[in-house]
Structure 1
Amino acid sequence: MWNFKYSLVFILLGCGTVVYGQTIDCQRPPQLVDPALCCRDGGRDQIAEKCAEKVLGTVNGQQNNGPPSMDGATCLAECILTTAQYKQAPKTLNLEFIRSDLTSKFSNDTVYVEAMTSAFAKCEPQAQRRLAAIQQFNPKQPKCSPFAAIVLGCTYMEYFKNCPAHRWTQSAECTLAKTFVTQCGLGA
């Protein structure tokens, strides 16, 4: 449904840890690795494609002007969650529908369904808190509410941190990326 490449930029929190003799500095992320190469997700679907075309003006998955702006990414996330009927109110997810929809789409992969459903459930209250903080410091109403973008960013970060073994690619780069996001407090 949503692809990692559309994830929003995350704020890095300071901490340090060691992986395979290499020190992780949470202020300096390791070399970027496409999370989708490490942890296969459900892939893009028609909803994501149509929303990308509508919001970002893409054709056949190709963006016209590089990465989306913050407004573009926020509106894309809102379009995806609304069109998929995952968002039931401005700040609420329809978790029963999410589980049902994922179960129908991935009936042969209950582990994936459970990982994604758990991630959405964990991220909904986190997104509500972050949205309240954003609105407190910036009462100006943006074009699209950041709630959906916060939910999707958090959900895919949680999914990445708890990637099912059968969807995980064993490599030094992937292990380092997973350790970084887990140890540095990214996600919910």
Structure 2
Amino acid sequence: MWSSKHFLAFILVGLAYDPFVLGQNIDCQRPPQLVDPARCCRDGGRDQIAEKCAEQVIGTPNGQQNTGPPSIDSATCLADCILTTAQYKQEPKTLNLEVIRKDLSMKFSNDTAYVEAMTAAFTKCEPQAQRRLAAIQQFNPKQPKCSPFAAIVLGCTYMEYFKNCPAQRWTQSAECELAKSFVTQCGLGA
């Protein structure tokens, strides 16, 4: 649905996976080498809404794109733009899961496994994002430019999707298995 570059902007952390991969224990304090999640688990590909929001939020005036990672403010505003424009988020801290399922079902009518995996990930991540947002607001009452709720939801959703990647979208490789093991064992995502 959104490109892996957008996913990485929301996560801003390395990946983690399952306890024993290639006979190695996973140390959650030492993540493995960063791997592009889209190389291991194909996502939905480019999305016009995400591209338009990226241009609007992160783009520079002369049509050139920033080459470095976006700031936390830019990443949260990008996530908010994506979920609001797609009508996935209609309340400040609530997702419209019916709209999400319908939209994904329409866009990926021939890939029900992808639709189910993404819908399940959004469903699991909504309450987690609400709890994390409440904790953030409790310790930092200053209102940021854009609420971090959407960024928390998207980061969690893509982690959950990665952990539960449909078989036909998964790439079998040692580095992908290590990444999945780290994410799963170390509790990243919801």
Q: How does the TM-score come out when normalised to structure 2?
A: 0.92
Gaps of 5+ in 2: none
Any unmatched runs of 5+ in structure 1?
none
Partner Cα distance (1:158, 1:97) in 2: 19
How far off its partner does 1:43 sit? 1.1
**2:137 equivalent to 1:152:** no
Paired residues in the alignment total 186
1:123 equivalent in structure 2: 125
The answer for the alignment partner of 2:181 in structure 1 is 179
Offset of 1:185 from its aligned partner? 0.6
Change (3 A) 1:12 1:177: closer
Percent identity for Structure 1 against Structure 2: 82
Q: Secondary structure at the match of 2:26?
A: strand
Whether the 8 Å contact between 1:56 and 1:68 is mirrored in structure 2 is yes
Counterparts of 1:118 and 1:157, CA distance in 2: 12
- Residues 9 and 110 from structure 1, CA distance in 2 versus in 1: closer, same or farther, beyond 3 angstroms? same
1:105-129: per-residue Cα shift (whole Å, max 9, x none)?
A: 0000011000000000000000000
**C-alpha separation between the residues in 1 aligned to 2:151 and 2:144?**
13
Could you tell me which of 11, 20, 25 is aligned with 1:8?
11
* Matched AA of 1:113: V
Runs of 4+ aligned residues of structure 1 deviating over 4 Å after TM superposition are: 10-13
Structure 2: which amino acid aligns with 1:142?
P
State whether residues 4 and 34 of structure 1, in contact with CA within 8 Å, keep that contact through their aligned partners in structure 2.
Answer: yes
- TM-score, normalising length: structure 1: 0.93
- Change in Cα spacing, 1:62 to 1:112, as seen in structure 2 (3 Å) is farther
1:50 and 2:44 matched? no
